[in-house]
Amino acid sequence: MMQQPVVHSRRFTSRIETPDGVWVYWSADGREDTSRVRNLSLGGLFLETSASKKVDSTLRLDFLVQEGQISADAIVRRAEPNTGLALKFTDMSDEDKLRLDVLVNRLRKQQSRDNGAKG
C-alpha cells in the first residue's frame, strides 16, 4: 500500500473562505483602497486587489464588518499580479484580536450551515 506524502502548511491557523460581505479599508505608501477579503484566518488574509505591492511591504487594515471595528497592521507575504495580496497580521490590539476571533467563528458557522444545506 502506498502512503500519501505528508504536506505541511506554514500557517498556524486554517483560512476560511469569506462571503461577499467581508471587506477591508487599507492603506499603504500613501495609497488608500477598499477591497474584498477572499479568505481569512486569525493569522492573516488574502485581499483581492489589482494594486501591486512588493513582498514585505506593510499595510494598515480596517475591517468593515458587523463585529465592530477591527484594525491591524499586516505585511505582504505573497503578491499575485492583478489578483491580490496574501497578508500576515503583524500587530493588532487585544480588543481587535477578540473581535477577529468572533468574526472568524461566525464565518466558520456560516460556512458549515451553507455546506450542510448543499448536502
Higher pLDDT, 91 or 119: 91
Q: How much is the average pLDDT of 54-77?
A: 96
Task: List domains and CATH numbers for the chain.
Answer: 16-113 (2.40.10.220)
> Per-residue pLDDT tens for 71-83?
999 999 999 999 9
How many helices (H) and strands (E) the chain has is answered by: 1, 7
Cα angle at 107 between 102 and 40, to 5 degrees? 85
How sure is the predictor about 7, in pLDDT bands with cuts at 50, 70 and 90? very low
Asked if residue 73 lies in contact with residue 61, where contact means CB atoms within 8 angstroms, the answer is: yes
Asked if residue 63 lies in contact with residue 74, where contact means CB atoms within 8 angstroms, the answer is: no
> Per-residue pLDDT tens for 78-118?
999 999 999 999 999 999 999 999 999 999 998 888 777 66
Q: How much is the average pLDDT of 33-51?
A: 96
- pLDDT above 50 for 63: yes
* Predicted pLDDT at 14: 79
